[in-house]
Structure 1
C-alpha cells in the first residue's frame, strides 16, 4: 500500500504541471512525428518500422535481424515479423540459411529500393517541416542537446 503521507518528489525543473515537463514534451514531439509519418507512409503501403528498416538497410546492407532491431528501435521478435513481411512483399532478400552462425544478412531488392526512394520524399518533407520550425542558428544546438539527453539516459 502506498504511503500517502510521503511528501511529493521534487520537480526536476520549474513546471506549471506535467505538460510542461521535458519528458512530456519530447513524447508529444515524438507522437506528432509518428502521426505525420504514419499518414504519409500509408500512400506507399509502408509502416514507420518498415520504412525505418528499409532506410537502415539501404545505408548498411547485410545487417542481421538483431542489428536491424537495435537500429530501428524494435524488439528482435518484432523485427523478425517485420522482415518476413517485407520479404514476402518482395522488398528485401535474406538467405534461407548461412554457412556459419545464425545471422542471415538482409539486403534490399530492386523493388525495395524503388519503394524506399518513393517514400523518402514524403518522409524528408516531414523532416524539413520540423527543421523549418527551428531557427538555423539553433539546429546544431538542438541536435547536440538531444544527443546529450540520450547519453544521460544510457550511460
Structure 2
C-alpha cells in the first residue's frame, strides 16, 4: 500500500497546487529594478537578432562609433562608450582579427592608434544597422513613437546621476 502524502500545505499554497505569484511591488516601484529588467529584455532580443552577425552589443556600439568617427583614438572611443581600456583593447583585438576594424598610426602621436573600419566592417555595420532598425521598430510597436522618444529623453536624464 502506497504511503499517503500527509505533508502540511506550505504557506501560500493554493488548492490547485499552483504557486501564487510573488509580490514584487517593493521592487517594481523602484526605478532601477524595472529599468534593469527592461535592459535585460532588450539585450536578449538584441543577442537573438544579432546572432547571425556574431556581434555583441559592445562590439556593435564600437563599430558604429568608429564608423561615425573614423581616425579617432582608441582611448577616445573607449571613454565615450564607458568601456575600460583593457576590455576595449581585447575587443579591438577581436574586431581586427575578424577583419572589421583596424588600428592605424597617427601622425601626431606615434604611441596612440587611430581606429577605422575596414571595407568588411563597413559592410557589416550597414547590415547591423538594418537589424537594429528592426529592433527599434519593435520597441516602437510596444510603447509607441512618442513613448520611445520620452523613454530616450528620460534615460538621458537618468544617466546624469552618474556624473
TM-score (norm 1): 0.79
Q: Distance in 1 between matches of 2:97 and 2:39?
A: 30
- When structure 1 is superposed on structure 2, of 136-145 and 43-52 the one drifting more is 136-145
Q: Say yes or no: does 1:50 pair with 2:55.
A: no
- 8 Å contact from structure 2 (residues 63, 125) kept in 1: yes
Question: What residue is the counterpart of 2:162 in the other structure?
Answer: 154
- When structure 1 is superposed on structure 2, of 52-61 and 90-99 the one drifting more is 90-99
Q: Distance in 2 between matches of 1:154 and 1:107?
A: 30
- Point out which structure has higher relative CO (alpha carbons under 8 A, 6+ apart): 1
- 8 Å contact from structure 1 (residues 57, 106) kept in 2: yes
Q: Distance in 2 between matches of 1:120 and 1:46?
A: 12
Question: What residue is the counterpart of 1:71 in the other structure?
Answer: 80
- 8 Å contact from structure 1 (residues 98, 104) kept in 2: no
Deviation per residue, 1:16-50 (Å, 9 max, x gap)? 31133210111111111111111111101222211
Greater C-alpha Rg: 2
Alpha-carbon RMSD across the aligned residues, in angstroms, is 2.0
Q: How many residues align?
A: 140
Question: What residue is the counterpart of 1:7 in the other structure?
Answer: none
Q: Distance in 2 between matches of 1:114 and 1:87?
A: 15
**Unaligned residue ranges in structure 2 (runs of 5+):** 1-23
Q: Distance in 2 between matches of 1:32 and 1:148?
A: 21
- In the TM superposition, residue 99 of structure 1 has moved relative to its aligned partner by 5.2
Deviation per residue, 1:36-67 (Å, 9 max, x gap)? 11111110122221111111111111222222
- When structure 1 is superposed on structure 2, of 62-71 and 31-40 the one drifting more is 62-71
Q: Say yes or no: does 1:127 pair with 2:136.
A: yes
Q: Distance in 1 between matches of 2:28 and 2:158?
A: 19
TM-score (norm 2): 0.76
**Unaligned residue ranges in structure 1 (runs of 5+):** 1-14
Q: Distance in 1 between matches of 2:115 and 2:89?
A: 11
Question: What residue is the counterpart of 2:96 in the other structure?
Answer: 87
Q: 2:38 aligns with which of 29, 32, 40?
A: 29
Question: What residue is the counterpart of 1:41 in the other structure?
Answer: 50
SS at match of 1:41: helix
